[in-house]
Amino acid sequence: TQEKQPPHNIALLPPPGFIGHFIPFIELAKKLVYRHSCTATLIIIPDDGSPMNPQKAAFLRGLPPTIKTILLPPVSTDDLAENINVEMLVPIRVIRSLPALRETLTFLRDDSSCSQASALVLDLFAPHAIDVAKEFNIPAYIFYVVAANELSFCIDLPKYDELCTSEYNDMPEPIKLPGSLVLNPNDIPDAIKERNSDLHKLGLDLCRRILFADGIMVNSFLELESEAFKDLETRLHDIPPVYAVGPLIRTGAETESDRGSECLNWLNEQPPNSVLFVSFGSGGTLSIEQFHQLALGLEMSEQRFLWVVRRPQENAAGAYLNINNDKGSGSFDEFLPHGFLERTKGRGLVVPSWAPQIQVLRHASTGGFVTHCGWNSILESVVFGVPLIAWPLCFEHKMNAVFLTDGLKAALRVKENEETGIVYRDHIAMIVKGLIQGEEGKQLRIVMSHFQNAASNVLSQNGSSTKALAQVVKKWISGN
């Protein structure tokens, strides 16, 4: 009699930090076990020495037994500057965790209680681990959890670097995204803005290393980023095979912080499509002045709103480093304009730090979303057909805003004052009204519902993303 083969075990290495990368890795692991009869091992690099971020810990608690987690020991980063950029810190943590990753893969291979990894799936901040996978003779695939547009940009970056003599801003031709979308100097991702910085050097190194992977799965789908995928296809001979496997957005059980949420009860009482959801992702923050203008703008708009507030600070990406340390966010009213809460009572709801975003976006009362343009937030809005106001803050989010407004035509974009960089209340009030009540909002909703249908098709039994993931799994299993 033939012995039944044990399921193939896929090891996944999400990056430390960045909840926005962690969530899609968990969703990918679920797809692999539920749809493709694999088992999965999530290898977790700790954020820092303190207990795990509560959101992350909650996501891990809800997993089936076919997904195992292995927590690597924390690495020291005491030698690094305290205000180090998060996009620098994350790859450094990954590099310092490589010996522990090696030990873990050895353990999976040699210990009788485990099964050896058939493939290693890596984050875009972790391409240094490709070499480790090669030592074990297993395929290394990147799970690219942001836009295909960004992948295309990242592949071109070494070329831009060669062409450029001073800064990218001064290039004779503007940088373009697939589909001839022009990237204004201000929309170039923060990490590479200063060409002489260490951050730029590291970014360039990551972009080059990604190309040594055996394949790249992108959390996007063909219809949404048709130009970008076409562009990637033309480079087939120079880059690893690219698979559109998304949109993989958060599914499954609600976590403690989602449950019994006041804001869902409040949404239940509002009319359909009437509420503007305002949230800047898992760590985006506004300066105190900008925070004030936003409050006043929401008030002036006279629209209903649900605003997730985070303690204001100057560095827009500052809270990504210590999301669990948003101390004092419970007393956010000290930052709000005097009397704001009373004046907007009933019409607006302010919640501190975290909202159950999936449930909010899928709620019938939600009529629009002011987003910082994180890729998960965009995919979630697409899946639930919610039109957007793009308010990018940092990282590659301005690039996403260009794609959303000029490419997809699914968002209005806020305009910052050229001198101060602030988005003022009159403008906010106008754009919010336009989205919730105006003709422009209606048009955006039509565009979004088109992509909503497409998103549901690509994930159906015979959809392109389902098939693409099946193709990848087949390669892993057959060993070629």
Which residues are designated catalytic? 21, 123
From the list 16-24, 133-141, 285-293, 409-417, the region that binds ligand UDP by CB under 6 A is 16-24
The interface mask with ligand UDP, positions 212-251, x = CB under 6 A, is: --------------------------------------x-
Q: Shortest gap between Cβ of 241 and ligand UDP (angstroms)?
A: 25
- C-beta nearest to ligand UDP: residue: 20
CA angle 350, 353, 355 (to 5 degrees): 70
Q: What's the min distance (Å) between Cβ of 266 and ligand UDP?
A: 15
Smallest gap, in angstroms, from Cβ of residue 354 to ligand UDP? Answer: 4
Q: Is 19 in the site for ligand UDP (CB under 6 A)?
A: yes
Q: CA-CA distance, 194 to 154, in Å (whole number)? A: 16
Which stretch, 33-41, 58-66, 178-186, 371-379, contacts ligand UDP (CB under 6 A)?
A: 371-379
Report the DSSP beta bridge partners of residue 216: 142, 242
Quote the CA–CA distance of 331 and 442 in Å, as a whole number: 36
Note whether 405 binds ligand UDP by CB under 6 A. Answer: no
Segment 341-370, which members bind ligand UDP (CB under 6 A)? 354-355, 357-358
- Which of the stretches 4-12, 98-106, 223-231, 373-381 binds ligand UDP when contact is defined by CB under 6 A? 373-381
Nearer to ligand UDP, 23 or 412 (CB): 23
Q: Beta strands of 353-420 (E only): which ranges?
A: 366-371, 388-390, 411-413
Nearer to ligand UDP, 214 or 380 (CB): 380
Partners of 279 in beta bridges: 371
Check residue 20 for interaction with ligand UDP (CB under 6 A).
yes
In the bound state with ligand UDP, the residue whose beta carbon lies nearer, of 126 and 132, is 126
**Which of 9, 219, 274, 282 contacts ligand UDP by CB under 6 A?**
282
| Dist. CA 391–CA 410, nearest whole Å | 13
| Residue 283 engages ligand UDP in binding (rule: CB under 6 A) | yes
Would you tell me how many other CB atoms lie within 10 Å of the CB of residue 312?
16
Nearer to ligand UDP, 242 or 263 (CB): 263
Of positions 53, 118, 149, 279, contacts ligand UDP by CB under 6 A: 279
For ligand UDP, which residue of 375, 384, 391, 403 counts as binding (CB under 6 A)? 375
Using the rule CB under 6 A, which residue among 10, 11, 13, 23 binds ligand UDP? 23
Q: Is 349 helix (H, G, I), strand (E, B) or coil?
A: strand
386 binds ligand UDP (CB under 6 A): no
| Residues of span 294-323 touching ligand UDP by CB under 6 A | 308
Give me the least distance between CB of 56 and ligand UDP, in Å please. Answer: 11
Size of interface with ligand UDP, in residues (CB under 6 A): 20
Task: Tell me the longest C-alpha to C-alpha distance in the chain.
Answer: 77
Q: Which string of DSSP letters, residue by residue, matches 66-107?
A: TEEEEEPPP---TTS-TT--HHHHHHHHHHHTHHHHHHHHHH
Residues written for the chain? 480
For ligand UDP, the closer of residues 58 and 430 by Cβ is 58
Using CB under 6 A, which of the segments 14-22, 79-87, 136-144, 404-412 binds ligand UDP?
14-22
Residue numbers at the binding site for ligand UDP (CB under 6 A): 18-20, 23, 250, 279, 281-284, 308, 354-355, 357-358, 374-377, 380
